[in-house]
Structure 1
Amino acid sequence: MDTTPPPLDRIDQAIIDVLRVDGRITFEKLSTLVHLTPRPCLERVRKLERRGVIRGYGAIIDLQKVAPGISLMVLVALSGQSERAAQKAFEATMQACPQVLECHLISGHFDYSMRLRCRDLEHYRVLSESWMNDDALHIDKLVAHPELAAVKCGIPPFGQ
């Protein structure tokens, strides 16, 4: 039996495009933009939520206005002999760390790409040293790239 979910159709993709830009839009306005009546539009959104296509709604926050500090992109390489338990320990530590905004398992010379927010470089230095000194994490290398300016933020429309 095939358990692959059905592909998204043109209307589902249009709904996603609109919600990516404006998650607070009313169903009345959304239904007009995707050329449906409100009830079927609401049913499609709920179906997309149940399928996990729409995982949640949120606000785009200007972190500099909330808490001045620095944003960093950090690449992480775990040691070659690190096993799955070490990977799980690393991931659990990153999930629990409030300074880690995003953490992605990647391919290539590094194992993870992370986005961090710290008060200043000294705060990052202390944090990264604590990770490097934690033998359970098996971190071989951390390479940090402080963000100088945001050139483009947000998510582009679906399919672009």
Structure 2
Amino acid sequence: MATQDNPPLSPAPLDRIDEAILDVLRHDGRITYEKLSTLVHLTPRPCLERVRKLERRGVIRGYGALIDLKVISPGLSLLVMVALSNQSGRAAQKAFEACIKACPQVFGCQLISGTFDYSLRMRCRDMEHYRVLSETWLNNSELHIDKLVAHPELADVKSGVGF
């Protein structure tokens, strides 16, 4: 067990083949093991064993589909910066995080450092929808929100895959 005197062990480093496997899977998670093994210069069996090992170690957390939200849900994408009040404490943080996890319009939330405490990625029907939702949050005294700053997404220049 990790303690202050006994820090957790650092994860085993990845070798060039593991990195090559991750690079290919990051861009094509549906690739066959046959094709993957060819691209990383291994035979299929050792390639499969390496992928399974990366999964067991938690390096590969899962596989999924990249969904174009604009196609299934036309509307407005926003990056929203959130600052909680300085005196809010851990209870307010937990309440805020629970509220955000339950909100279907929020599809990404990161705890960050700096002027703001959280960065949210959201999708709303329009600005009025966002205004009503944000007012609901601001009026909820349990959340202790000090400030919300919304940045509408104008264009998708580069979408992250696998990180």
1:127 matched residue in structure 2: 133
2:49 matched residue in structure 1: 43
Identity between Structure 1 and Structure 2 (%): 76
Q: How far off is 1:89 after superposition? A: 1.1
Q: How far off is 1:46 after superposition? A: 1.0
| 1:52-86 deviation per Cα after TM superposition (whole angstroms, max 9, x unaligned) | 11111111111111111100000000000011111
Q: How far off is 1:155 after superposition? A: 2.9
Between 55-64 and 113-122, report the one with greater CA deviation.
55-64
- Of residues 132, 140, 148 in structure 2, which corresponds to 1:142? 148
- Once residues 14 and 129 of structure 2 are traced to their aligned partners in structure 1, the CA distance between those partners, rounded to angstroms, is 44
Instruction: Return 5+ residue gaps in structure 2 as ranges.
Output: 1-5
Provide the aligned C-alpha RMSD in A: 1.5
Q: In structure 1, give the amino acid aligned to 2:100.
A: M
Instruction: Return 5+ residue gaps in structure 1 as ranges.
Output: none
Number of positions where the alignment pairs a residue of Structure 1 with one of Structure 2: 157
Aligned counterparts, 1:1-160, within 5 A: 3-155=9-161
- Once residues 5 and 63 of structure 1 are traced to their aligned partners in structure 2, the CA distance between those partners, rounded to angstroms, is 35
- Once residues 96 and 72 of structure 1 are traced to their aligned partners in structure 2, the CA distance between those partners, rounded to angstroms, is 18
| 1:27-57 deviation per Cα after TM superposition (whole angstroms, max 9, x unaligned) | 1000111111111111111111111111111
Q: How far off is 1:3 after superposition? A: 2.8
Q: In structure 2, give the amino acid aligned to 1:132.
A: L
| 1:70-107 deviation per Cα after TM superposition (whole angstroms, max 9, x unaligned) | 00000000000011111111111111111101000111
TM-score with structure 1 setting the length? 0.93
| 1:90-127 deviation per Cα after TM superposition (whole angstroms, max 9, x unaligned) | 11111111110100011100001110001111111111
TM-score with structure 2 setting the length? 0.92
- Once residues 153 and 79 of structure 1 are traced to their aligned partners in structure 2, the CA distance between those partners, rounded to angstroms, is 32
- Once residues 151 and 81 of structure 2 are traced to their aligned partners in structure 1, the CA distance between those partners, rounded to angstroms, is 8
